[in-house]
Amino acid sequence: TQDEDAREENKDVLGCRKEKEYFGICELEETAGTGVESSGVFRALGALLLLLSTPPFTIALWSIFVQHKGSVASFVTLLSDQKNWTPFLQSLPTLSWEATGYIAAFGAFEALIQLAVPGKAFVGPISPKGNRPVYKANGVQCYFVTLVAFFLAWKYSIFNPARVYDQFGEMLNALNIFGNVLCLFLTLKGYYFPSSTDSGSTGSFLFDYFWGTELYPRIGKSFDIKQWTNCRMGLMGWSVLPLCFMIKQLETTGQISNSMLISVVLTNIYVFKFFLWETGYFCTMDIAHDRAGFYICWGCLVWVPSVYTSPVLHLVQHPINLSLPVASTIFGLGVLCIYINWAADEQRKIFRATSGKAKVWGKKPKFITARYKTGKGETKTSLLLLSGWWGIARHFHYVPEILGSFFWTAPALFTYVMPYFYVIFLTILLFDRAFRDDARCAAKYGKYWDDYKKQVPYKFIPYIL
């Protein structure tokens, strides 16, 4: 996973030097950097619960939005009568060649452009085992190539995007099967032919399958599997699926409601923001800490298209047209939140790349130089940023991210609660991530982290939390 020439050529520009790491990757050196997690009884039981419950939940969610128009009450009422169980099961999607074809074509296309579209080499953070993965930073280019290909395929009737909505249940079934097969492959790959030394078993096959056995699995030297599952399938799919749902509404009603348009545009602005920042994502917990197993890979392949697109999926059958003041307010606040989230991440990215020399909000940044020991016993330093967005709260950037998701869901109004499931899920996910990150930073930096918390005492919102 290392490319020495690319590393030396790009290390100054990209801020991934040998001697220093920067705030934002606070994993425990002994475990998190290599992706190894404890496989205790309770953790294993939790993994088993998620393995068994989340795949059928994605189908239940589809049923609520598509068959019951977003009504939980209708869904529960149906299942409360045992006589309805058999007809309900018979009404659920199965598999189809059409749905499988859509997934295969999209997956192959995204794999092809991930490899073929030009991009600068980006050197990821060093792991405790000494590995530094090199990525091709071509996310923005691939985003536009994907959208151009999508609209050309629609224009020239190569495929009808509205059919994706019609086949979405079958697609989720196919993705569930493919996701689990891929996770099995990745588990065995980590056992027998890992791509790097950042691999190994926790001692439990069940937890290995859930958590993963490799941190940076690759096919050959260039095709990074996590970049494909997380960024190209998950995030790029999150861009394209809402467009398909919007076209379904156009086909059904003859027009696109402004509620649908706001939700789709805000979602795509957010996804575009992600690809602008994709190299920053390569330094986050998802990539630098979490191994490639069910938790990450199945999540990006199945959970993201099922849950993250659900507000737009709901709007297909609810063509709400908002008043101009309401629509403008929701859209404006949504863009503002996405911008603040991007600005915070970009601020940290520049701080890392310049070793703390770049100004933050027009001033010389304040930071703590923290020393810590690696798993090999080497002493290294990190810079903990105290200025700008990162001086407001330790995880303030999660606040605009949560609010952004609220504003691209708000066009659905408040008649139904299920469109807000993603907002609720994201809030729980980010709060959990913030607490886990704080725990890792405390274990890694010790007294330096205590000092940091004194100067930035709040996790999310000053004077509140």
Mean per-residue pLDDT, 75-98? 97
Q: What number of other Cβ atoms are within 10 A of residue 152's Cβ?
A: 10
Q: What pLDDT band is residue 130 in, cutting at 50, 70 and 90?
A: confident
Task: Give every CB contact of residue 321 below 8 A, 6+ residues apart in sequence.
Answer: 257, 258, 259
User: The whole model's pTM is what?
Assistant: 0.90
Residue 458 in tokens = 């709040």
Helix/strand/coil (H, E, C) string of 28-81? CCCCCCCCCCCCCHHHHHHHHHHHHHHHHHHHHHHHHHHHCCCCHHHHHHHHHC
Average pLDDT, the chain: 90
What is the model's pLDDT at position 123?
A: 93
For residue 112, the model assigns a pLDDT of 98
* R_g (Cα) of the chain, nearest Å: 22
- pLDDT tens for residues 423-460? 999 999 999 989 988 998 999 899 999 999 999 999 99
pLDDT tens track for 217-250: 999 999 999 999 999 999 999 999 999 999 999 9
Q: Are strands 134-137 and 120-123 parallel, antiparallel or unpaired?
A: antiparallel
| 320, 262 contact by CB (below 8 A) | no
What pLDDT is attached to residue 7?
Answer: 34
Higher pLDDT, 123 or 127: 123
- Cα distances from 75 to residues 8, 248, 295, 319, in angstroms, run 58, 23, 28, 21
Q: Which residue has the tokens 């999660």?
A: 398
State yes or no: pLDDT of 269 exceeds 60: yes
Strand partners for 120: 137
| Pairwise CA distance, residues 16 & 132, whole Å | 9
CA neighbor of 243 nearest in space, from 291, 305, 303: 305
> Alpha-carbon distance 101 to 5, whole Å?
39
- Give the number of other Cβ atoms within 10 Å of residue 335's Cβ: 16
Percent of the residues in the chain that have a pLDDT greater than 90, as a whole number: 82
The set of residues, in sequence order, having a beta carbon less than 8 Å from that of 62 and lying 6+ positions away, is 93, 168, 169, 172, 306, 313
Given this model, what pLDDT does residue 127 score? 81
Count CB-CB contacts under 10 A for residue 99: 23
Residue 176, helix vs strand vs coil:
helix
384 has a pLDDT exceeding 90:
yes
**Which comes out higher in pLDDT, residue 402 or 29?**
402
- pLDDT for residue 255: 97
C-alpha–C-alpha distance, residues 99 and 171, integer Å? 5
CB neighbours of residue 376 within 10 Å: 9
pLDDT at residue 197 is higher than 80: yes
For residue 186, pLDDT over 90 is answered with yes
CB atoms under 10 Å from CB of 297, counted, come to: 27
pLDDT of residue 128 exceeding 80, the answer is no
Is the CB of residue 205 less than 8 Å from the CB of residue 125? no
pLDDT of residue 39: 59
Question: Which tens digit of pLDDT belongs to each residue from 33-73?
Answer: 444 555 577 888 899 999 999 999 999 999 999 999 999 99
In this prediction, residue 378 carries a pLDDT of 79
In sequence order, the β-bridge partners of residue 380 are 372
Residue type, 287: I
Relative to beta strand 379-385, strand 20-22 is: parallel
Structure confidence at residue 377 as a pLDDT band (50, 70, 90) = confident
How far is CA 287 from each of CA 32, 437, 458, rounded to the nearest angstrom? Answer: 11, 14, 26
For residues 177 and 159, the answer to whether their CB atoms sit within 8 Å is no
Which pair of structure tokens corresponds to residue 464? Answer: 């509140």
135 has pLDDT over 70: yes
The tens digit of pLDDT for each residue in 82-93 reads 999 999 999 999
